[in-house]
Amino acid sequence: MAAIATDESTSPRHALDADREPRRVVILGSTGSIGRSAIRVLEHDAGKRLRGWGLAANKGVETLCEQAHAVRPWAIALADRASVERIDGRLKGLDVQVFAGIDGIGRLVEDARTDVVLSAIVGAAGLEGTWAAIEAGKTVALANKETLVVAGSLVMDLAARRGVQILPVDSEHSAIFQAMRSGRRSEVKRVVLTSSGGPFRGKKASELKSITPDEALRHPTWRMGPKISIDSATLMNKALEVIEARWLFGLEPEQIEVVIHPESIVHSFVEFVDGGVIAQLSPPDMRLPIQYALTYPERVDGGCAALDWTQALTLRFEPPDRETFPCLELGFEVMRRGGTAGAALNAANEVAVARFLDGSIGFHDIPRACRAALDSHSYDPRPTLDALRRVDAWARQEVIRWRS
């Protein structure tokens, strides 16, 4: 099975030296939570190592145009064609190309001068852009975990065929990627993903029935977009990350574990065969893993706060409560099954989260709706990309109709 290499000597594309031109970065999903953090990384770098080359969003015209003034890219793209009209005079004074529609996003990704594509569109919608970037032979900084949940096996195989490196941006996977550099791949015994436990850590299943969207959106340690905030509250986010880790690092299902760590300081760790554990620690700030992926293998001062060791700091670790948070088990099950299971689970979850947010199902219904879709989908162990798209569409319809 194809997996990312953690030895930088295998990646000549990343041989940074002082004379080298800044790396040209295209951000897919620049107006979202990760995209906005990435813009701050580019601003702090100020063109030394990184250059904002292309910015793509769905319809967030105002933010996108502000970002264009901040990083002065070669081009921007709006997936929603009608939104282009709303640009008006917002790009005044800028020499910037404007593209529209999915083909427009393709223009940014496939431009011969693009070096790195940061894939930060939320949900299965991020798969197409990621796929196009790999096809075009671009290095991918991957924040869109759904890409690997839906099509991990196909995506990693394509990356191997194209000689493309996929660098993780998800904080847990970035931590594992960093920790893996201290040993050989054959020396890795297992990886342990940390989870804050979300806003409902310590609650029992019966207490979760009356949870409102507002309560679920309030994450204790991370500020994120609505979809990932709800996923963090159900622990579906960790379920998706378990699947992401399996494909990204080419691990066996039994090599992946999850531990609850409420402080979100230890972002994950790797246990080696000798029992040594290497972890990555830092205050929770997505700019660090974003920057690490964009400047890899170099580490630079990006202006993120450091841990303050003059203050007492307690780090707690506890096993997850799998009964209260059944989404986690769904993730482990789907990781073991592979095939179309990831596409079914992911699509079901996206619709279930949207339905919870619009008030048509309860918080505790999210895993139930996902379970129903997963169990009734027609499983294929070796699907094509088209088959995965069909399962995705089918699962969405199932959950739209689902009644508790």
Q: Which residues bind Mg ion (CB under 5 A)?
A: 170-172
Taking the complex as a whole, how short is the minimal distance between the CB of residue 221 and Mg ion, in angstroms? 11
Taking the complex as a whole, how short is the minimal distance between the CB of residue 222 and Mg ion, in angstroms? 8
Task: State which amino acid sits at residue 9.
Answer: S
Taking the complex as a whole, how short is the minimal distance between the CB of residue 171 and Mg ion, in angstroms? 5
User: Are 284 and 221 contacting, i.e. CB atoms less than 8 angstroms apart?
Assistant: yes
- CB of 170 or CB of 321, closer to Mg ion: 170
Taking the complex as a whole, how short is the minimal distance between the CB of residue 175 and Mg ion, in angstroms? 9
Structure tokens at 226: 């609505």
Burial class (CB in 10 A: 0-12, 13-18, 19+), 23: buried
* Helix extents (H) in 220-312: 226-234, 236-249, 287-295
Taking the complex as a whole, how short is the minimal distance between the CB of residue 21 and Mg ion, in angstroms? 31
Taking the complex as a whole, how short is the minimal distance between the CB of residue 118 and Mg ion, in angstroms? 15
Task: State which amino acid sits at residue 180.
Answer: M
| Residues facing residue 250 across a β-bridge | none
Q: What are phi and psi of 260, to 5 degrees?
A: -85, 130
| Residue 367 to residue 329: CA distance in whole angstroms | 10
Find, among 381, 146, 242, the residue nearest to 131 by Cα: 146
- CB of 114 or CB of 232, closer to Mg ion: 232
- CB of 230 or CB of 361, closer to Mg ion: 230
- Name the residue with the smallest CB distance to Mg ion: 170
- CB of 67 or CB of 237, closer to Mg ion: 237
- CB of 77 or CB of 192, closer to Mg ion: 192
- CB of 317 or CB of 384, closer to Mg ion: 317
| Residue 356 to residue 216: CA distance in whole angstroms | 10
User: How far is residue 30 from each of residues 39, 48, 121, 222, 242, measured CA to CA in Å?
Assistant: 8, 20, 8, 19, 25
Taking the complex as a whole, how short is the minimal distance between the CB of residue 170 and Mg ion, in angstroms? 4
State the DSSP code for 399. H
| Residue 201 to residue 232: CA distance in whole angstroms | 11
State the DSSP code for 307. P
- CB of 79 or CB of 235, closer to Mg ion: 235
- CB of 156 or CB of 240, closer to Mg ion: 240
Find, among 323, 338, 334, the residue nearest to 370 by Cα: 334
Taking the complex as a whole, how short is the minimal distance between the CB of residue 327 and Mg ion, in angstroms? 14
Taking the complex as a whole, how short is the minimal distance between the CB of residue 179 and Mg ion, in angstroms? 15
| Residues facing residue 54 across a β-bridge | 26, 75
Q: What are phi and psi of 259, to 5 degrees?
A: -130, 145
- CB of 114 or CB of 237, closer to Mg ion: 237
Q: How far apart are the two ends of the chain, measured CA to CA in Å? A: 39
